Amino acid sequence: MRLLPVLAVVLGATLSTACGLTAQTATPATAVAPVTAPLSQLRRTLDSIADAHRGVVGFSITNLETNEHLERRGDEPFSTASLIKVPVLVALFDLAEQKQLTLDDPLVLTDIDKVGGAGQLQFLRTPMTMRLWDAAWLMSTLSDNTATNLLLDRIKIRRVWQKMEALGLPRTKVHSGSMTRIASVAPDSSAKYGLGVTTPNEMAQLFTLMAQGKAVSAKADSTMLWILEHNEDNSKLTRFNYGVRAAHKTGDVDRSRTDCGVLYLPARVVACVLTRDNVDTRYWTDSEGNAVIAQIGRAITAHWKR
């Protein structure tokens, strides 16, 4: 009977050896840092995608955790389309931060305020009272043009300019309300760029400041990014990135498609992709302007997502 304990020890040692186990396996393994491909590889991929597009592509991409940065035509002007609504949102929250207004202040929608294009307010019965917060939400998530105009009527276009200039973004300008170029404050630039103008680097910098809590305040910036996480247009940067959190804003006009935001991969990556002179001007999900931005978004995610 004394042989049984000895036999058990021998068998245990034999099985451990056979399975490649040792006493050291009881110690938790040291975490291995993920291996990221060289940034030059991502650069080649993005340039290949951009070169193949029938139009002009500019981008500005920064990993906020590693400070890695890539850009193409980063300081060239591009039409923003509805992407310019982000500076409008920032200016609104800045005025609220200064207590010149509150987001609970009322707005009254009347028939003369309604414009076409994106949004739902154009279809609602009037007069209708809402709050500044409601208009900001609709502008940011549904790109509602009527909501945008209500906000600009309240805060004034020049205040958006002043806020962007104060943030060091002098080339980011909104020209008029949506679909109301007759009231443009910069007719020449408006005729060339439409609703607004920016550069890839400037718009990316605006999102960087928001991610760092430096655009308005930590609380306001966090709230704005949360709103932009509810953007319902997923035809561009986020198209192939199912499950990836993103706070972003898109834009569409005939020859331009735009998208810019913060991707949480989980490293925060600010990505801004602007296009102009697109040959394909169709308004549908698979238009070439949408597709090229979607491909760039997928390449960014594949490079940095763990």
User: Which CATH number covers residue 287?
Assistant: 3.40.710.10
Residue 24 lies inside a defined structural domain of this protein: no
**According to the model, what pLDDT value does residue 202 have?**
98
> What are the angstrom distances between the C-alpha of 195 and each of 83, 182, 238?
9, 11, 24
In the chain, the number of structural domains is: 1
Residue range 168-207, pLDDT digits in tens: 999 999 999 888 888 888 989 989 999 999 999 999 999 9
Residue 9 lies inside a defined structural domain of this protein: no
Residue 252 lies inside a defined structural domain of this protein: yes
Burial class of residue 181 (count of CB atoms within 10 Å of its CB; 0-12, 13-18, 19+)? middle
> Residue 262 is encoded by which pair of tokens?
């913060």
**According to the model, what pLDDT value does residue 34 have?**
55
Which of 36-45, 56-65, 198-207, 266-275 is predicted with the least confidence, judged by mean pLDDT?
A: 36-45
Residue 26 lies inside a defined structural domain of this protein: no
Domain of 296, in residue numbers = 37-304
What integer is the mean pLDDT of 4-24? 41
Residue 17 lies inside a defined structural domain of this protein: no
Residue 101 lies inside a defined structural domain of this protein: yes
Q: pTM of the prediction?
A: 0.87
Residue 118 lies inside a defined structural domain of this protein: yes
Residue 7 lies inside a defined structural domain of this protein: no
What integer is the mean pLDDT of 218-227? 98
